[in-house]
């Protein structure tokens, strides 16, 4: 019998500063919690030991927040601690997110030596005006330096995260960012449309009329340009917001889209297995208290109904280039979407076109 494959997500909620658009569970100014937090991550991992014995972990993802605000030796130490309670598959993909201002070549050498195999760098833009509008702390130059340091340290699997549609960004500026990203030659690119979350400083500025709402038509043009430029540069568009050179799709994120189980540890981390989704408490201090008491720091859980699971499989499947089996969608609806240029039948599957992918959430709700 084949063994269950799973992913491990590790949430590091510390950042140098908070970017105005960010609604992740992250904090600036909590450095005094770092050492206790690292101990708690190892302790929480151990609490899951029995539940996941016999599972082969094919990926580990240090996300956040900014994991590289922790010393490289600490991330390596955590990785070793995880190896004592779970089995990492041979060749497992081990990713760390990184902010350009937190890494240099010695740091990245130590990270690679410590077992991290893949780097995902939050670059967002190579235009200083756009970086300022996003309230990023780093400059285009520090992103260039960090990428060069990753290469000279020996990272052969690097993702760059980019964001399009910020206030002050034109289609031309976005295309220049894309071209510069391509010229660096990363194996993977994630390109996200800026979304405005009401609870963020950006959301409040938009609500107060101080900053315009991103223009959906301009973002659609930027998305179309992204598809064109990256296809021309040899990247496979394998998920709505993700492109990779052959052989470099992100195993960890593919797991989310393919319904592979995962356990998330750390403040606010989510987990999923067999139709049950659960999540940890968000405030780091509460997380630390619960783990210190020997309690699993669970904040809530949700059992998905069969209908929820069907819709979720459809939504996630259609986000990927491989699409879904055609019988998952009512035939007349599928034909309608194919005729409208939003979906296509490819290799015996139903997949979204680039235009359909830009509208993925709306399209899937209609198709479901």
Name the site residues for ligand SF4 (rule: CB under 6 A).
15, 18-19, 22, 24, 26, 64-66, 99, 122
**Helix, coil or strand: residue 363:** helix
Q: Which is nearer to ligand SF4, 99 or 271 (CB)?
A: 99
Question: Cβ of residue 25: shortest distance to ligand SF4, in angstroms?
Answer: 9
Question: Cβ of residue 163: shortest distance to ligand SF4, in angstroms?
Answer: 9
Question: Cβ of residue 69: shortest distance to ligand SF4, in angstroms?
Answer: 9
Question: Cβ of residue 194: shortest distance to ligand SF4, in angstroms?
Answer: 11
Q: Which is nearer to ligand SF4, 111 or 163 (CB)?
A: 163
Where helices occur in the chain by DSSP H, the ranges are: 34-47, 72-85, 105-113, 128-133, 140-153, 171-184, 201-207, 216-232, 251-258, 284-292, 306-319, 331-339, 354-358, 360-367
Q: Which residue is at the shortest CB distance from ligand SF4? A: 22
Asked if 142 and 99 touch (Cβ cutoff 8 Å), the reply is: no
Q: Which is nearer to ligand SF4, 104 or 289 (CB)?
A: 104
Q: Which is nearer to ligand SF4, 139 or 245 (CB)?
A: 139
Helix 331-339 with 360-367: angle, nearest 10 deg: 150
| Residue of 36, 43, 107 lying closest to 69 (CA atoms) | 107
Question: Cβ of residue 27: shortest distance to ligand SF4, in angstroms?
Answer: 9
Please name the residues in contact with 138: beta carbons below 8 A apart, sequence gap of 6 or more.
99, 100, 101, 131, 146
Question: Cβ of residue 145: shortest distance to ligand SF4, in angstroms?
Answer: 17
Q: Which is nearer to ligand SF4, 101 or 187 (CB)?
A: 101
Adjacency order of strands within the sheet including 188-193: 236-239, 242-244, 188-193, 158-164, 118-124, 87-98, 56-64, 5-12, 262-265, 270-273, 276-280, 298-303
Q: Which is nearer to ligand SF4, 118 or 260 (CB)?
A: 118
Q: Which is nearer to ligand SF4, 99 or 351 (CB)?
A: 99
Please name the residues in contact with 45: beta carbons below 8 A apart, sequence gap of 6 or more.
81, 82, 85, 86, 265
Question: Cβ of residue 18: shortest distance to ligand SF4, in angstroms?
Answer: 5
Question: Cβ of residue 221: shortest distance to ligand SF4, in angstroms?
Answer: 24
Asked if 236 and 246 touch (Cβ cutoff 8 Å), the reply is: yes
Q: Which is nearer to ligand SF4, 116 or 367 (CB)?
A: 116
Q: Residue 9 is encoded by which pair of tokens?
A: 């997500």
Question: Cβ of residue 248: shortest distance to ligand SF4, in angstroms?
Answer: 22
Q: Which is nearer to ligand SF4, 15 or 367 (CB)?
A: 15
**Helix, coil or strand: residue 19:** coil
Question: Cβ of residue 182: shortest distance to ligand SF4, in angstroms?
Answer: 23
Cis amide prior to 144 (ω within 30 degrees): no
Per-position DSSP letters for 27-81, written without gaps between them = BSS-GGGHHHHHHHHHHHHHHTTTTTTTPEEEEEEEEES-GGGS-HHHHHHHHHH
| Residue of 157, 101, 103, 158 lying closest to 131 (CA atoms) | 101
- Give bridge partners of residue 162 from the DSSP assignment: 124, 191
Q: Which is nearer to ligand SF4, 7 or 64 (CB)?
A: 64
- Give bridge partners of residue 278 from the DSSP assignment: 271, 301
């Amino acid at each position: 019998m084949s063994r269950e494959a799973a992913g491990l997500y590790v949430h590091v909620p510390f950042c140098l500063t908070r970017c105005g658009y960010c609604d992740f569970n992250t904090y600036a100014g909590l450095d005094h919690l770092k050492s206790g937090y690292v101990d708690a991550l190892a302790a929480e991992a151990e609490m899951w030991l029995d539940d996941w014995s016999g599972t082969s972990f094919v990926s580990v993802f240090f996300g956040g927040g900014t994991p590289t605000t922790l010393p490289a030796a600490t991330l390596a130490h955590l990785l070793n601690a995880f190896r004592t309670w779970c089995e990492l598959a041979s060749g497992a993909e081990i990713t760390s997110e990184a902010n350009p201002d937190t890494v240099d070549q010695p740091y990245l050498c130590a990270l690679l030596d410590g077992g991290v195999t893949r780097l995902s760098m939050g670059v967002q833009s190579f235009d200083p005006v756009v970086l300022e509008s996003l309230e990023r702390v780093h400059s285009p130059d520090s992103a260039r330096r960090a990428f060069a340091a990753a290469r000279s340290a020996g990272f052969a699997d690097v993702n760059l995260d980019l964001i399009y549609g910020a206030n002050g960004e034109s289609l031309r500026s976005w295309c220049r960012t894309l071209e510069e990203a391509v010229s660096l030659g990363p194996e993977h690119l994630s390109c996200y449309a800026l979304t405005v979350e009401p609870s963020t400083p950006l959301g409040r500025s938009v609500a107060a009329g101080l900053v315009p709402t991103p223009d959906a038509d301009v973002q659609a043009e930027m998305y179309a340009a992204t598809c064109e430029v990256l296809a021309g540069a040899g990247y496979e568009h394998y998920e709505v917001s993700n492109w990779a050179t052959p052989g470099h799709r992100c195993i960890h994120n593919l797991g989310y889209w393919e319904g592979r189980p995962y356990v998330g540890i750390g403040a606010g981390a989510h987990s999923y297995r067999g139709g049950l989704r659960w999540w940890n408490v968000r405030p780091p201090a509460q997380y630390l208290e619960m783990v210190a008491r020997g309690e699993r720091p669970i904040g809530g859980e949700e059992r998905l109904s069969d209908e929820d699971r069907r819709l979720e499989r459809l939504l996630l499947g259609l986000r990927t280039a491989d699409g879904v089996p055609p019988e998952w969608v009512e035939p007349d609806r599928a034909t309608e979407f194919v005729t409208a240029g939003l979906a296509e039948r490819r290799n015996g599957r139903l997949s979204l076109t680039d235009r359909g992918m830009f509208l993925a959430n709306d399209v899937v709700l209609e198709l479901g």
